[in-house]
Amino acid sequence: MAERKSNWDDRLECAELSDIGMRRAINQDSKKILLASDEESWNDRGHFFMVADGMGAHAAGELASQLAVDGVAHLYFKYTELSPLEALRKAMVETNSEVHRRGQANTDFLNMGTTASALLLLPQGAIAGHIGDSRVYRLRGQRLEQLTRDHSLVWELKAAGHLTEGGDLAQTIPSNVITRSLGPSASVDVDFEGPWPIEVDDVFLLCSDGLTGKVEDEELASILSYLSPHDAASLLVDLANLRGGPDNITVILAKVVKPAMVTNSADTQAERRRAEKQRAAARPVVGVGVAVCLLIALILVITERFFHAVSATVLAFLVYLAGLLAAKRGDSRGVFAGGGKGRYGQGPYSKTSCPSRKAATDLLSKIAQNLRQCDPGETISLDWSRFDASCDSAANAEQAGRGDDAIRGYARAIRELMNQVRVAQNKNASDSAIEY
């Protein structure tokens, strides 16, 4: 598994892991992390993270997701004349066109598509651009927040009030039916969220639904709160696999570890005021242009040059329209566009309280006990002694009041069990696309 730190300082601790799962023949997930190489790059483009979950037969999903992460990343850093958000928007729209073109050009790839969730960590805050049901979370203090909404049938029905948790209808609708994706259509509707202020110890999680389909938000909160990004990523993937691993699983974690990455509220307020000043300065210019055109039209009417008067009136309308478009474009270039609040989207869309250290220990203990009772079947022979030893060590640490050691002990037991399953099924790093 790849564990990264920025190559110019130690402000951020990152971990990434992509696994084929237990039932798939190929990994159709893709991911990308591009960290700023220096202070100038940080101020200009920030850090870039992306997860994509491809869809389509004949390896089409694998191609779609790879095109997505490569294309969006390349174009985002190419459009340096645009604001980060506008560059990300243009990158996702143009990448959609390329994925769609490749799908139309080959019958094997027809209608291929992919989810796409990108996260930018910038001096002005965190911004997410997303389509599909791959998610972006933020852990802050005692709360885990889902910053993006799922573009899925289940999510849309719940939002419309047509679906209740545990109801009969909820049991019949597949959870993996998405309503939007990158590639199948020539046009695309991407949602943006943020900017969200960044604080020390914030942990950002990007993941495909192979994780969230098997690991609950309460478990995510427990694991992210008390384990390092490297250990948390491994445990999350292993836990999803031990619960069946029906899909590919991809995880990216980024933890803020130094105050130098904290969003400066004074800077963000100054940028917001500057953007408003630019819009205010543009209004008189547009007004003067419209007034001049209308004055010319009036003079032409008085002189009975009616055709030219109509042309001048049309020109006044075009000047006014150009002013509106320019103002809209100016808004889109600013990180803090999106109305008076200076924010995009309606997130967070869910909030989960993080358990205490004792509750997190109990949760992992219960998970380990449930796994101990599972029957792996006749095809897999497991040595439970090492698993039991790790669980006993964790229980002893808990009794001694060493909560962190207890949590790490249960996590080690779960990882040990999954390692044995991999060996028994002849799965290795290349099968699972785990980076070392």
- The verdict on whether omega for the bond into residue 229 sits within 30 degrees of 0, i.e. cis, is no
Predicted confidence band of residue 283 (pLDDT cuts 50, 70, 90): low
344 DSSP 8-state letter? B
Residues whose CB is less than 8 angstroms from the CB of residue 86 and which lie 6 or more positions away in sequence, other chains included: 79, 332, 333
pLDDT at 270: 43
**Coil vs helix vs strand at 3:** strand
pLDDT at 226: 96
Distance (Å, whole) CA 336 – CA 272: 6
Q: DSSP class of residue 346?
A: -
What is the gyration radius of the CA atoms in the chain, in angstroms? 26
- The pLDDT mean for the chain works out to 85
Q: Are 133 and 114 in contact (CB under 8 A)?
A: no
- Which parts of 288-405 are beta strand (E)? 350-353
Q: Does residue 348 have a cis bond before it (omega within 30 degrees)?
A: yes
Structure confidence at residue 335 as a pLDDT band (50, 70, 90): low
Is the Cβ–Cβ distance between 276 and 332 less than 8 Å?
no
Residues composing the chain: 436
Q: How many Å apart are CA 253 and CA 230, to the nearest integer?
A: 8
Which pair of structure tokens corresponds to residue 275? 């953007």
- Sign of the Cα torsion 402, 405, 410, 411 reads positive
Predicted local confidence at residue 84, as pLDDT:
96
Amino acid type, 367 = I
Task: Name, in order, each residue with C-beta under 8 angstroms of 335's C-beta and a sequence gap of 6 or more.
Answer: 83, 84, 85, 122, 124, 125, 127, 195, 271
Q: Which is it for strands 350-353 and 29-34: parallel, antiparallel or unpaired? A: unpaired
Residues 263 and 40 sit within 8 Å (Cβ to Cβ)? no
Q: Which of 164-178, 312-326, 359-373 has the lowest mean pLDDT?
A: 312-326
Query: Quick check: 367 and 414 in contact, CB under 8 A?
Result: yes
Q: Which amino acid does the sequence have at 388?
A: D
Check: pTM over 0.85? Answer yes or no. no
* Burial classification of residue 65, based on how many CB atoms lie within 10 Å of its CB (0-12 exposed, 13-18 middle, 19 or more buried): buried
Which residues does residue 15 pair with via DSSP β-bridges, in sequence order?
3, 253
Helix (H, G, I), strand (E, B) or coil at 48: strand
pLDDT at 374 over 90: no
pLDDT of residue 436: 21
Whole-angstrom distance, CA of residue 232 vs CA of residue 408? 10
What's the pLDDT score for residue 25? 92
Higher-pLDDT residue of 318 and 5 is 318
Using CB atoms within 10 Å of the CB of residue 24, give its burial: 0 to 12 exposed, 13 to 18 middle, 19+ buried: middle
Q: Which of 284, 279, 280 is nearest to 319 (CA)?
A: 284
pLDDT band at 426 (very low <50, low <70, confident <90, very high): confident
Tokens of 403: 């909560």
pLDDT in tens, 249-281: 999 999 999 999 999 865 554 444 444 555 555
Per-residue pLDDT band at 168 (split at 50, 70, 90): low
